[in-house]
Amino acid sequence: MAFRRRNKSYPFFSQEFLIQNHADIVFSLVIFILIGLMFEATAKTAILFIQPQYNVTTLSAEGEVTFYHYGWKDSATILFYFFIAIILHAVVQEYLLDKVNRRLHLSKSKNTKFNESGQLCVFHLVSSVWSFYILITEGYLLHPSSLWENYPHVHLRFQVKFFYLTQLAYWLHALPELYFQKVRKEEISRQLQYICLYLLHIAAAYLLNMSRVGLVLLFLQYVSELGFHIARLFYFTDENHQKMFDMWAVSFVFTRMATLTLMFLAVGFGLARAENQGLDLEMGNFNTVLIRMTVLLLVCLTQSWLLWKFIRFQLRRWREFRHEQAVRKKAATKQALRPLKRDSRECKRRFIGNQSICGWSLFYSHYIVQSV
């Protein structure tokens, strides 16, 4: 299974060979794990990589319901879907983005940003639809108080736990992709910032048993980011498509305000009024004043930093727009003065041929100007 076109062969285990064939190597590892399911001796080990662990079956009004909690075995599952994310990344790049790039003929800097937005656009679209489906089926949107009631939310349904595991796997896979995709040094620091922020917030919501609040926040964030990357893709195809950035700007500010409001409502007021105050690692209870204030401070600092960057970007964009308008006005003024200069030259030529008529016209024009 080849994901990249081989224009040149490189020595085995060299840097270029690894970059060119990383998807094939990872695909071989995935096949090796799947083959392990076929044999009884290795099936129990292979299932750790594929299926979420720590399942608990309980009786309820609906019958037997299976819930999940987290543990160290989740790292094996995250590793497997880490490999899957690398393969899917290569598939999207090879069969979708590269074909579009050949038609657009973008520069290297724009090509890198186009690939980044294309990959994130696919991921944000899938994740936003998936998270919205979970919020509807679990009833979190219809009953907002369920986001903090009955905390700690140790027992998760399969779809909730699987969502968090795949989210962690995707953002972890984004780290080696900076090397595989040969991202420019100027872009690495910016991409590392948002990758680490996503990993920090998702891991905190998962490990601190705040998965319900985290789902809502991820849904809002992914919808907002989806609008931005769609706007950037349209901008690369045609630079006249800039109105979508204005729509994204409104959704960006709304997302920041909604995130802060929800965090203060759920963590600052909801969990603060809960009865089970105190740290209990066995029960998964992290409802202490220090942890709540740390979580609120982390979210507030992140949202404030994003708003600060957004305001700086808008101000820079406004200055560039004003500068372009000033340049256009100067160019229009110069074009308007050119006919006047031609008229003055024509008048001078006629004055030489007919001094009396032109002299009287200049006299009256001078008199009118002086009188005004």
| Token pair listed for 254 | 């709304």
pLDDT at 360 over 50: no
Q: Give pTM, 2 decimals.
A: 0.84
Task: Kindly list the distances between the CA atom of residue 41 and the CA atoms of 21, 23, 37, 47, 143, in Å, as whole numbers in the listed order.
Answer: 31, 28, 9, 12, 46
CA 26 to CA 308: how far, in whole Å?
39
Q: Are 154 and 284 in contact (CB under 8 A)?
A: yes
Q: For residues 132 and 221, is the Cβ–Cβ distance under 8 A?
A: no
Over residues 33-50, mean pLDDT: 93
Domain ranges of the chain: 51-318+362-369
In sequence order, which residues have a C-beta less than 8 Å from that of residue 85 and are 6 or more positions away? Answer: 166, 169, 170, 173
Alpha-carbon distance of 206 to 159, in angstroms, equals 13
Ramachandran quadrant class, 116 (left: phi over 0; alpha: psi -120 to 50; beta: rest):
alpha
Is the confidence at residue 247, as pLDDT, over 80? yes
Which of 57-66, 273-282, 352-361 comes out lowest in average pLDDT?
Answer: 352-361
Closest CA to 290 of 303, 271, 304: 271
Provide the total of helices (H) and of strands (E) in the chain, helices listed first. Answer: 11, 4
**Percent of the residues in the chain that have a pLDDT greater than 70, as a whole number:** 87
